[in-house]
């Protein structure tokens, strides 16, 4: 089934940098047309050219020549002819005269018409810039300009919007506008523009690009918008300045695409902007809504200009799709992320222990990833509180599925870290429970598994009462999303330190801590735990004594499930969009039907298991996604998944 850009919320932007010659209007127009035609063939919906691209930016006093300005109008007419048979918007930079003043403008063309003209508001006039010598500011202008005998909307108050879908809308500001204390894009965003385009002619200086990138990132984040920046490049005069032709696209503060600067010929950089995600972010931001209300007077005069954004079949996506959204790919960033999360976890536990005046904690240790991470967090909290580690009471609770590998890892780790550990075999008490239930103890059903899980929690809770301590929860965020926990079993604790950590990040956190230990034996044990198959160990081992019950065989690969969780819950993606993105990001590792199968199972489990999330114990939020009913996520336990599953069934057909 073909998937189309507008159905999934994507708008394809082409940042086109032509090779210009200041004053060669015909040559510049021909260079722009060549790139525009190429962008249209590649299904671009918007083609953005740099500031004053039609005339050239570095003309200086030649801007005051009547011959130049008449040539600008003539070549604008030629550009209009080119757009008649194309669907994409063309945004060209041109100097335009109006009532004795000259304006630095961005002209928006589509289907043989000029839809609107946006003048530059802030004109740089220091150091190498002298724009006020030639141009007038467009700030406060809201009217019309006459071009080729026709009145065209003119002002910095224009939003170009698709009447068929109000989520597809854009506005413009020009170069220096971004550098001002209060950019025009701030009010344009509050007025509804979710994508800001910036045709620019910013020269290159040492260190300037880092500052410029910070500006774009911060403005797109504050405005909860997309931001595409396209700057002048080859051909501009290098008398005193050099231009690199940079094109950058940001989305809510994050860089989604960036070209290589200093191309000698004209070139195009594409990016797909996720308009649905931006709309989702705004709907979820109370601060953005309040800002709209507070500044009604400033935005009430903003004008909407109708335009159309053609849809394309999405065969490729011009943005990087992170296959592991919770885990940074760069080692340095990943270590920084782990350092921050580990600090948040330990700080949360420290505050809880100090608040209740508790010096004793109880933790069940299976030798698996989650309980190991929880133990490491507890140790860090005790060290920072300067509490004796003897207050950490570890228990292994072997049942019918416990293997020697996991049990030995738990025992050896506690020995190396000098943590008190006791073993309490639960098999006898579970067998007694089977008798009481009339269960034969040989059917490996849900009762067989959950009797063990609840017995472990019951022992830990009672032990905590006995020593006046608290039970530390070990379950992670991914398990909560799937409901992969026993209700009132491992589902419950007195403080859950892993509740905000997704499974794909748990192993990296354990690995991160292992690198900080001088004790090489402890580090080796931690790495063996990292490499142990994920399992609740509630079913008997295989004949060789190895883990037979592997979680990912039942719920699916956590790599996929965490990907679904991020895009479905954090980003609000539709099922078909979540599928599309997963295939783009992880299609080399998993077949399409495999991805679709586990996405369907994800929705089924997520909807059916809300009742477990509705009564979670306290625990620290560590990232942008959490499932606590007191924090990020509220949902009725009997909500229907029918509409979501229907979307996937249509994909299957």
DSSP-based three-state secondary structure for 617:
coil
Token couple for 489: 């079993």
236 carries an active-site annotation: no
Give 547's strand partners.
none
> How many angstroms separate the CA atoms of 331 and 603, rounded?
32
> How many angstroms separate the CA atoms of 563 and 321, rounded?
11
646 carries an active-site annotation: no
Catalytic choice (12, 120, 600, 612): 120
Sheet of 142-147: strands edge to edge?
A: 142-147, 150-155, 113-119, 101-110, 89-98, 46-48, 10-17, 267-274
Q: Which residues contact 478 (CB under 8 A, 6 or more apart)?
A: 484, 502, 503, 504, 558, 561, 562, 565
What interhelical angle do 446-466 and 427-437 show, nearest 10? 120
Q: Which residues contact 244 (CB under 8 A, 6 or more apart)?
A: 204, 231, 233, 261, 262
Is 435 within 8 Å of 573 (Cβ atoms)? no
Alpha-carbon dihedral of residues 397, 398, 401, 405, nearest 10 degrees?
110
Please choose, from the candidates 229, 222, 227, 231, the residue with its C-alpha nearest in 3D space to the C-alpha of residue 251: 227
DSSP 140-158: T-EEEEEETTEEEEEES-E
Please choose, from the candidates 433, 416, 444, the residue with its C-alpha nearest in 3D space to the C-alpha of residue 554: 444
Query: In the chain, how long is the greatest CA-to-CA distance?
Result: 100
Catalytic choice (51, 236, 449, 479): 51
- Between the alpha carbon of residue 478 and those of residues 241, 539, 561, the distances in Å are 53, 21, 8
Other C-beta atoms lying within 10 Å of the C-beta of residue 564: 25
Helix (H) or strand (E) holding 256: strand 254-258
Token couple for 376: 């490491």
150 carries an active-site annotation: no
Please choose, from the candidates 535, 492, 533, 530, the residue with its C-alpha nearest in 3D space to the C-alpha of residue 400: 535
Backbone angles phi, psi at 111, to 5 degrees: 55, 40
Radius of gyration of the chain (CA): 30
Catalytic choice (105, 175, 307, 571): 175
Q: Which residues contact 7 (CB under 8 A, 6 or more apart)?
A: 311, 576
Q: Is 528 exposed, middle or buried (0-12, 13-18, 19+ CB in 10 A)?
A: middle
Positions annotated as catalytic residues are 51, 120, 175
């Amino acid at each position: 089934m073909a998937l189309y850009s507008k159905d999934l919320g994507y708008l394809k932007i082409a940042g086109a940098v032509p090779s210009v010659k200041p004053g060669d209007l015909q040559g510049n127009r021909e260079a722009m047309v060549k790139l525009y035609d190429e962008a249209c063939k590649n299904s671009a919906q918007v083609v953005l050219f740099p500031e004053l691209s039609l005339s050239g930016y570095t003309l200086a006093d030649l801007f005051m020549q009547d011959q130049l300005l008449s040539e600008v109008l003539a070549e604008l007419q030629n550009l209009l002819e080119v757009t008649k048979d194309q669907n994409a918007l063309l945004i060209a930079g041109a100097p335009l005269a109006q009532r004795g003043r000259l304006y630095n403008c961005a002209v928006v063309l589509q289907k043989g018409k000029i839809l609107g003209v946006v003048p530059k508001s802030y004109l740089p006039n220091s150091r190498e810039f002298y724009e006020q010598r030639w141009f007038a500011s467009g700030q406060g202008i809201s009217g019309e300009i006459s071009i080729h005998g026709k009145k065209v909307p003119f002002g910095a108050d224009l939003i170009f919007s698709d009447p068929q879908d109000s989520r597809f809308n854009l506005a413009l500001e020009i170069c220096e506008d971004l550098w001002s204390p209060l950019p025009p894009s701030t009010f344009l965003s509050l007025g509804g523009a979710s994508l800001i385009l910036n045709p620019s002619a910013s020269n290159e200086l040492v260190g300037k690009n880092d500052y410029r990138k910070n500006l774009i990132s911060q403005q797109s984040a504050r405005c909860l918008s997309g931001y595409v920046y396209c700057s002048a490049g080859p051909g501009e005069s290098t008398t005193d300045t050099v231009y690199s032709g940079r094109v950058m696209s940001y989305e809510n503060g994050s860089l989604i695409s960036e070209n290589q600067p200093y191309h000698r010929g004209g070139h195009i950089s594409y990016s797909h902007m996720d308009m649905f995600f931006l709309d989702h972010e705004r709907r979820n931001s109370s601060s953005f809504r309040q800002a709209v209300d507070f500044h009604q007077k400033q935005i009430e005069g903003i004008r909407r200009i109708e335009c159309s954004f053609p849809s394309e079949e999405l065969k490729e996506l011009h943005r990087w799709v992170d296959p592991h959204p919770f885990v940074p790919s760069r080692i340095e960033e990943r270590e920084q992320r782990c350092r921050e999360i580990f600090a948040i976890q330990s700080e949360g536990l420290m505050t809880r222990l100090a608040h209740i005046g508790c010096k004793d904690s109880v933790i069940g240790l299976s030798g698996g990833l989650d309980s190991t991470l929880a133990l490491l967090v507890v140790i860090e909290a005790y060290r920072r509180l300067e509490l004796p580690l003897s207050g950490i009471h570890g228990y292994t609770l072997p049942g019918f599925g416990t293997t020697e590998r996991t049990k030995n890892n738990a025992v050896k780790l506690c020995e190396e870290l000098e943590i008190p550990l006791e073993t309490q075999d639960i098999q006898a008490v579970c067998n007694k429970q089977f008798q009481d239930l009339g269960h034969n103890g040989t059917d490996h059903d849900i009762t067989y598994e959950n009797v063990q899980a609840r017995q472990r929690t019951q022992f830990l809770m009672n032990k905590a009462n006995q020593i006046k301590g608290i039970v530390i929860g070990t379950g992670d965020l991914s398990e909560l999303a799937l409901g992969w926990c026993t209700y009132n079993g491992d589902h419950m604790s007195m403080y859950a330190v892993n509740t905000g950590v997704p499974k794909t990040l748990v192993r990296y956190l354990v690995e991160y801590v292992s690198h900080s230990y001088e004790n090489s034996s402890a580090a080796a044990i931690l790495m063996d735990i990292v490499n142990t198959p994920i399992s609740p160990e509630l079913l008997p081992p295989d004949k060789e004594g190895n883990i037979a019950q592997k979680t990912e065989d039942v719920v699916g690969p956590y790599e996929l499930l965490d990907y679904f969780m991020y895009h479905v819950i954090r980003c609000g993606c539709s099922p078909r969009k979540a599928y599309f993105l997963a295939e783009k990001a992880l299609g080399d590792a998993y077949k399409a039907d495999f991805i679709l199968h586990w996405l369907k199972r994800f929705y089924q489990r997520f909807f059916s298991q809300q009742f477990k999330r509705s009564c979670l114990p306290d625990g620290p939020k560590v990232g942008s996604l959490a499932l606590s009913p007191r924090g990020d996520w509220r949902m009725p336990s009997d909500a229907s998944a029918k509409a979501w599953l229907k979307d996937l069934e249509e994909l299957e057909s």
